Each structure stands twice: as structure tokens, then as C-alpha cells.
Structure 1
Amino acid sequence: MSDTSIARPFAAGNNTTLAGIGLMVFGLFLFGANDVMGKWLVADHSVGQMLLIRSAAALLILAPFIWRERATFFSVERPFIQIARAFCGTAEVALFYWAVAYLPLADVMTFYLAGPIYVTALSALFLGERVGPARWAAVVVGFCGVLIALGPSITEFSWPSMIALAGSLGFSGLMVMTRLSRGTGDLQLISFQIIGGLVFGVVAAPVGWMTPSTNGFLMMGLLGIISMCAYLCVNRALKLAPASVVVPYQYTLIIWAVVFGYAFFNEIPEATTLIGAAIIVGAGIFLFVREQAQKRLRRRHEVQPATAEVPLEPRA
């Protein structure tokens, strides 16, 4: 066998991984752009009408694909999980837009980056997943990062910070519900989430409705299309490259938040925000690395003889 024939699979694998990294980075850039547009729009429009127009535009793009899958589109296992997931997804988006109306982008993003830390705690409490001492320690450290990022809000009530914190909990709920939806197709997952936003928009839009300009209307529609494209890029990245390679890139969102916040709104993050963000990112990466180690250990256990004494997962 020639050296060339041996090299080809590795080259192909490297190209696929690079494509996955590129899609993840681009998807996160789109999420950053979505956040900037949302902050700009919420200054003159209500959150309800933003979600209404945003969701309608995204659903319009998805309509042909939904129609093609119409025979099985609503045939999902555990529909209550999908309803709960749509609720959490709608809540986290609405609360994010509400929070950035009062807080810098970097502050709000810092709270949202704590999502994986909350997920670890919620998974142990409600899903029965085993979480060892090391991972619980990382959860505690991550919570300390959140408290540092809150800054004066710890001793002096700041309801915008509480909104951002509530939104990050909604984001965590979305991730937990997604874990419970592994058998549901991507089209259904994103469509149900968008439908949830549309329902919220229909109910909430009349409250504080401000007739948008043509540019405002188009921007809100573009908001939905950009967020949908960002989701698709991230999802495709996870299929092209190992999660252990591409998932840590999600923490570049704080970089986009700082850069875009300064470039478009002249926002300079407080030192406490940056310190808290660094602690949260460190704790989140540690939790992710431990989870990947557990998966490798489980796979190793599966190929052992049935009598082999191999633990299913380490005491993290």
C-alpha cells in the first residue's frame, strides 16, 4: 500500500475537522451579530414584537422543509419535553433581549456562559446523573464566578442582573431538555423552539407595541434568519468534528460580546465582569473535559468482557 493511500483518510479527517471548526466559529460570530442587532432593536421596540417578527421570518424560511416532512413532523416522542424545551428556549431569548436593554453585552453573556455549570447541577438533581466531588467543586467555583460577575448586585438589588441570571437558568433548562430530546430530529427541534417564540410574540406583542419603521421591521426579520443560520452552523459543526474539538469554541462568545459591545455601544466591561467570566469559562471547560473523559471510559467499558471490573464512569 502506498504512503499516499494511507495519508488520504487522515487528510480527509483533518479537512472535515477544520470545516467543523470553521462552521462553529462562524456560527458563534452569527450569534454575536444576533446579540448586537437585538440590543439595538430593543431600544425602540418591545421584546414581544421582536420575537413575533423574528419567529415569523424564521418559520417562513423553514416552511418548505416542514411541509416536506409534514407526515411525520408532529410525531415526536415525549411531546411534553418538546413543550418544556420550547418554553425554556423562548424564555431565555426574551430575557436576554430584556437584559441587554439595560446591561452591557459582555455582562449578560457572562451570565449565559454559566449555563453548562447549571446543567451539571440540574442533571445531578433531576436526571439522576452521577456527579463526583471534582465536578461539584467546579460547579461551586463556577457559581463563585457568577457572584463575582454580579459585583455590586450581590449587596444592592439590580433587577437587570436578575433578569440576565433568570435568562441563563432558562438557557440551562433548554440544554437539559435538549439532552432529553436526542431522538428528535434537528428540524423539529428548531421549529418547535421557533413556534414557541411565535406564540409568545402573539400574546406579548400588543403590550407596548410600537409600530416599527421599514428598516426596523426588516432588521427584526433578519434577526430571525441570522439566529436560525447560527443554530444550523453550530449543529452542522458538531456533526463534522468531534465535540471535544469544537465545543470549547463556544466560549469565544464572550470575546464577541466585548468586541461588539465596545465597537457599537462604547461599552467597556468592568474588571469584576472579566474576572467572573474567566472563572466561569475555566469551570465550564473543566466540566466539559471531565464529561469527555467519562464518555471515553464508558466506551472502553463497552468493549471489555462482561466479567471485567471496569467502572462505568470515574468519580469526577
Structure 2
Amino acid sequence: MQNRPLIAAAHIMTAMAIIGLIDQFIRVIAIDSSLWTFHLLRSVMIWTIALAWLAISRKRLEVVSWRGVLARSAFNATGLLIYFGALGFLPVAQAAAGLFSAPIFVLILSVALFRLRIGPVRIVAAFTGFAGVLMVLSPDVSTLSPAAFVPLAAGLFYAMAAIATREWCPDEHALTLTLGGFAFMGLWGLLGIVSIAVAGGEGADFLTRGWVWPTPEVLWWCIVQALGSLIAVVLLTRGYQLAEASLVSVFEYSVLGFSALFGLLVWGDVLSVPAMLGLLLIAAAGSLIALRGRGVPA
């Protein structure tokens, strides 16, 4: 088995940089489109690309456990739906901070559901990470609003997807799980569009609009999202093949730094000192939980 941690880290960090950059432009899509249109369009694009590749390579999608894949896909898609919805009104770094509270929720759910025994180090790490999330989502208590905590729901569902991946989908191919997640995101998009049309309550913002015919600019950024997401997934998969997962997963937290950096470069978003410290606490806590959870000294 290959063990090339430096090259693996480069793959993971490149994937995180791509995600940190392309997610900045959800703000552009949100101006003229809707969350539901975006998910439907992007999922159709990704499935089209994947099916074309499968046809050319003469490979087939195989599913070991339909129940596991469906459950995992539903959790993953719901978490990402909430995350992308939050991008309509929050900077990427803040939304990503909520999403990356997932390791804390994994720990909590593992204790509650599977009677996992944890020591003081991971308990302290969980509290530290949660404090970091609060510092990012609400650096100024005087301006605290319930909307700031929406990304935490994304982290909860993402954690449930992580548990489902480990418990119910250990033998599934990465492409199967990836396309399963995008299929459910497309279904979420279609459901949102139909529900808004039936209710007749067409709104005026990213979350409450139904189907919106894409402008050339929106279509372009949906294509960028589809291609960028696929490239990032390929890089992530390759990274995990090149080195021990417990070491490689730590580098996923670089997305928090990339999100803050690109938010500054693209939009001029400046995080406060408490928020920046919060990002560091989330990354440190998540890394420690990952390392301790896989038996690596930390």
C-alpha cells in the first residue's frame, strides 16, 4: 500500500482550495437564481459528466447496500443543502465553520448511539471546537441572530452522513457515494421548485424563489461549480489512497483558511480577530478528535 503523506496532503489541500474558491461565487448565483435551481442544474451537470465518463471507460456503477447508500446520500445532501443555503446570507468562512462542526457531532452521536467511550482529551477537544464555532458564527454577541446558527444544522447532518459512511457503506465505491449525494441534492432542488410552484408563493430571494431560467452568468458559475466539485472529489479520493486517512483528514481543515482568504480577495470580507481565532480552534479540535479517534498519538 502506498504511503506518501506529503503528496496526499498536497492533493487534499488543493481540493480544499478549489472548494474555498468556487463556493465564493454562490453569492453571484444567489442574486439572479435560487437554491433549488442551482442544486438541480449542478446535479444534472455532474451526472451527465459522470455518465459520459462511465460510458467512455466502459465501467459500471455498483451498489453493495442500497439502504445504506440512500440513507447516507440523504444525510449528506441535506447537510450540503443547508450549507449552500447559508451561503446566500453568510460569508463562506462562517458557513464552512458550521459545516466543520461535524467531527464534534460525530463524537456526540457516537457516544449517544454506539456507547463510544471517550477520554478527557476528546471531551476537551469537543468543547474547544464548539467554542471555536461560536466565535466564528457570532463574534459580536450584540448582533447575534438565529440565522447565524443555521450552518450548525449542516454540521449535524454532515456528521450523520459520516457515521452512515463508516457504519453502512464501508464497501461502496467513492464514485457511487459521490453520485448518490448529488442525486439527492438534485431531488431536493426539484422538490423545492415543485413545492414553491404548487404553493404559489414565489419569493424574491435565493431561498424562496422556485425555478429561475439561468442567465448566462448563472449558467457559467453552475458549470464552474460542477467541474470544480468533481475535480475536488477526485483529488480528495486520491489523497486518501496515498496515505493513512487519520493523517490526511487533518488537512481538510485547510478549507477554513482558504475560505477566509478567498473571501477577503474576492469580496473584501474581513474576519474579526475572535472569528479567526475560532477557525484555528475548530481546526485544532477537529484534527485532535480525528487523530485520537483513529488511535494516532496526539
Please report the TM-score for the alignment, with normalisation by the length of structure 1: 0.80
Q: Where does 1:40-51 land on structure 2 (aligned, <5 Å)? A: 40-51=28-39
User: Which residue is equivalent to 1:193?
Assistant: 181
Q: 2:263 corresponds to which letter in structure 1? A: G
Q: 1:38 corresponds to which letter in structure 2? A: I
User: Which residue is equivalent to 1:140?
Assistant: 127
User: Which residue is equivalent to 1:7?
Assistant: none
Q: CA-to-partner distance for each residue in 1:4-55, whole Å, 9 max, x for gaps?
A: xxxxxxxx967x4333222112111111123112232123211000001111
**Partners in 2 of 1:21 and 1:244 — Cα distance?**
12
Tell me how far 1:289 sits from its aligned partner: 2.3
Any idea what SS the aligned residue of 1:293 has?
Answer: coil
Q: Which one is further off, 108-117 or 182-191?
A: 108-117
User: Which residue is equivalent to 1:313?
Assistant: none
Aligned counterpart in structure 2 of residue 128 of structure 1, from 110, 115, 140: 115
**Partners in 2 of 1:219 and 1:105 — Cα distance?**
16
User: Which residue is equivalent to 2:258?
Assistant: 256
Percent sequence identity is: 23
- Structure 1 unpaired stretches of 5+: 1-11, 297-315
Tell me how far 1:69 sits from its aligned partner: 4.7
User: Which residue is equivalent to 2:235?
Assistant: 233
Tell me how far 1:101 sits from its aligned partner: 1.6
Q: Deviation above 4 Å: which 4+ runs of structure 1?
A: 65-70, 152-157
Q: Is the 8 A contact 1:31 1:226 kept in 2?
A: yes
Q: Is the 8 A contact 1:59 1:191 kept in 2?
A: yes
Please report the TM-score for the alignment, with normalisation by the length of structure 2: 0.85
Q: CA-to-partner distance for each residue in 1:154-173, whole Å, 9 max, x for gaps?
A: 67662331221211212222
Q: Where does 1:1-316 land on structure 2 (aligned, <5 Å)? A: 16-64=4-52, 68-70=58-60, 73=62, 75-77=63-65, 79-151=66-138, 158-180=145-167, 181-205=169-193, 207=196, 208=209, 209-293=211-295
- Structure 2 unpaired stretches of 5+: 197-208
Structure whose alpha-carbon radius of gyration is higher: 1
Q: Which one is further off, 50-59 or 124-133?
A: 124-133
Aligned Cα root-mean-square deviation (Å): 2.5
* Length, aligned pairs only: 281
**Partners in 2 of 1:66 and 1:86 — Cα distance?**
20
Q: 1:29 corresponds to which letter in structure 2? A: A
Q: Is the 8 A contact 2:101 2:282 kept in 1?
A: yes
Tell me how far 1:283 sits from its aligned partner: 1.3
